[in-house]
Amino acid sequence: MVIPSANQQSRRGWLAATIGLGSTILVAGIGCSSATKKKKARGTGPNANRPKGPKTMGNLLVDSYIDDLKKGPADKQISAAQELGNMGASAKQALPALQRLVKDNNAKVRAAAQQAVKAIRK
């Protein structure tokens, strides 16, 4: 009894049909090979002209951390800067607010802002 591997099953569309007393017939060539598949061009399909939805959760977090950087007390500014640094490149929109804090009078705020800027620019 010959059973095609999982890779063969997915790539070539093997079909195994059991008939009678356990004999198996394998039929190949169902489906198409990966070389003949057409790729969709970007900007096509049902969602091509769909307006962008609401902000993602990550964007909402970045926005709230930016508010903390601008209006919060020093401890909130430090924790917001640390969290933005942890988010990395996805927090690029916070760079202007962080760069203002790099010149802050509080040394701890300055240090946290500098570390966050470095982490975001990596």
Residues 38-56 have pLDDT tens digits of: 555 555 655 555 445 556 7
Residues 53-74 have pLDDT tens digits of: 556 766 788 999 999 999 999 9
Measured between alpha carbons, how far apart are the two ends of the chain, in Å? 56
Calculate mean pLDDT across residues 102-113.
Answer: 95
Question: Quick check: 83 pLDDT over 90?
Answer: yes
Question: Quick check: 4 pLDDT over 90?
Answer: no
Give me the residue spans of the domains in the chain: 6-31, 57-121
- Three-state secondary-structure class, residue 26: strand
Please tell me the predicted confidence (pLDDT) of residue 67.
94
Q: Domain 57-121 is of which CATH architecture?
A: Alpha Horseshoe (1.25)
Residues 11-24 have pLDDT tens digits of: 444 444 444 445 55
